[in-house]
Amino acid sequence: MNVDSLIKAYKNTQFKIDGFMTSIIVGTKSSEVDLYLIENSKLSWAFITACNPMSKIESDEINTINQSLLEGDIQGYTYLCGHGEDPNDNWIPEPSFFIAGINKSDAINLGKKYGQLAIVYGNKGKNSELLIIG
């Protein structure tokens, strides 16, 4: 898949947070996310996975190891589990983390550390954005 196709796929992905009723959609606001941020005194968030670096399919074993390492890196944050899901079912949902209170540069650095081409980032009350980082 070329980069333009990947970006289109990322923008169509539904980013689901465990226990939330609605998905995060790139370019939109989420009142449910905003409420969670308010309840936890946070202003920003990121949605990051460590699975399938550079959008190349990895084994479940490698993805599980990478996710565990990422979870270790976010222990100082408020976070929830989730997954990115293709509404057309063209790929298996990727385990991910919704990380509250992370700033943009730290989120980008985490995404780069785990070989991601892009992450989703947002601020309370604003539309989420797809950050191309790889």
- Average pLDDT per block of 10 residues along the chain, 134 residues long: 82 96 97 98 98 93 98 98 90 94 98 97 98 92
Distance of alpha carbon 52 from alpha carbon 54, whole angstroms: 6
Distance of alpha carbon 95 from alpha carbon 15, whole angstroms: 10
C-alpha torsion sign, points 124, 74, 104, 90: negative
Which residue's structure tokens are 């539309």?
127
Predicted local confidence at residue 1, as pLDDT: 67
CB-based contact 37:126 (threshold 8 Å): no
